[in-house]
Chain A
Amino acid sequence: QVQLMQSGPEVRKPGASMKVSCRTSGYAFTDYAIAWVRQAPGQGLEWMGWISAYNGNTDYGQNFRGRVTMTTDTSTSTGYMELRSLRSDDTAMYYCARVPRNGNWFDPWGQGTLVTVSS
């Protein structure tokens, strides 16, 4: 079955960087894109962007441009999301999700990675 397994929780200091991985299995990796969505504690969902696993093309949300980089490793069917210059309001659960080529819905989702930014 299709699975997206994310890396473990992280604690970072303000100004530092974070990198979350999303290892996929059960489907042809390059036939889809990987999206990243975050959810601050007690808040709603926020789209961060996505990356095509086929050609590496990216599209980032305006709140994250210049601070985020999404990459993929086709040899391991894994997606990565790096966020730099972390602030306390970057504390959130970060999710990856699979995106079809012919649409922009997310299915399925990874289990989430909690990132805490605190001095």
Chain B
Amino acid sequence: QSVLAQPPSTSGTPGQRVTISCSGSGSNIAEWPVHWYQQLPGTAPKLLIYTNNQRPSGVPDRFSGSKSGTSASLAISGLQSEDEADYYCAAWDDSLNGLVFGGGTRLTVL
């Protein structure tokens, strides 16, 4: 059971907007920035969003991040088939004195 809770799976159709939640606590998300990673099948993870809502160069603006209190969200608009992947949130945790990942959410594009 991960300290950061994500839904195990979600799905959407092409063109749709989907959101993935990441629920934490006062020792992690409430105090520290959240980052998001995309892992396409059989590949290494890739940074998607850093510091809550910043997009690295090259990441389409269809991807956006937000944070409020002890929760964060990743939104993907204009869903495309190539977005089918696992998505992970991450943040520092003061109680564990370490960086923690969410359990991951598998996005299926129907």
Chain A: minimal CB distance from B56 (Å): 6
Judging by beta carbons under 8 Å apart, are A105 and B46 in contact?
Answer: no
The SS class assigned to the B binding surface is strand
Q: Mark B21-59, 1 if CB is under 8 A from A, else 0.
A: 000000000000101010000001111001100001000
Give the most central of A46, A104, A108, A111: most B CB within 10 Å.
A104
- Segment from B11-19, B66-74, B76-84, B93-101 that makes contact with A: B93-101
Chain A: minimal CB distance from B107 (Å): 14
Judging by beta carbons under 8 Å apart, are A105 and B50 in contact?
Answer: yes
Chain A: minimal CB distance from B103 (Å): 5
Q: How far is the CA of A112 from the CA of B40 in the complex (A)?
A: 13
Q: How many residues of B contact A (CB 8 A)?
A: 23
B88 CB-CB contact with A under 8 Å: yes
A61 CB-CB contact with B under 8 Å: yes
Chain B: minimal CB distance from A7 (Å): 14
Chain B: minimal CB distance from A103 (Å): 7
Give the most central of A45, A46, A47, A106: most B CB within 10 Å.
A45
Q: A61-B98, A62-B96 are in contact. Are A45 and B37 (CB under 8 A)?
A: yes
Q: How far is the CA of A62 from the CA of B95 in the complex (A)?
A: 11
Contacts of A62 in B (CB 8 A): 96-98
Q: How far is the CA of A104 from the CA of B34 in the complex (A)?
A: 9
Interface size class of A (residues with CB under 8 A): 20 to 34
Q: A45-B101, A104-B99 are in contact. List 15 more A-B contacts (CB 8 A).
A: A35-B99, A37-B45, A44-B103, A45-B45, A45-B90, A47-B90, A47-B98, A47-B99, A62-B98, A95-B45, A105-B50, A106-B47, A107-B47, A107-B50, A109-B44
12 residue pairs bridging A and B, Cβ less than 8 Å apart: A45-B37, A46-B101, A47-B98, A62-B97, A103-B51, A104-B92, A104-B99, A105-B51, A106-B37, A106-B47, A107-B46, A112-B44
Binding site for A on B (CB under 8 A): 2, 33, 35, 37, 44-47, 50-51, 56, 88, 90, 92, 96-104
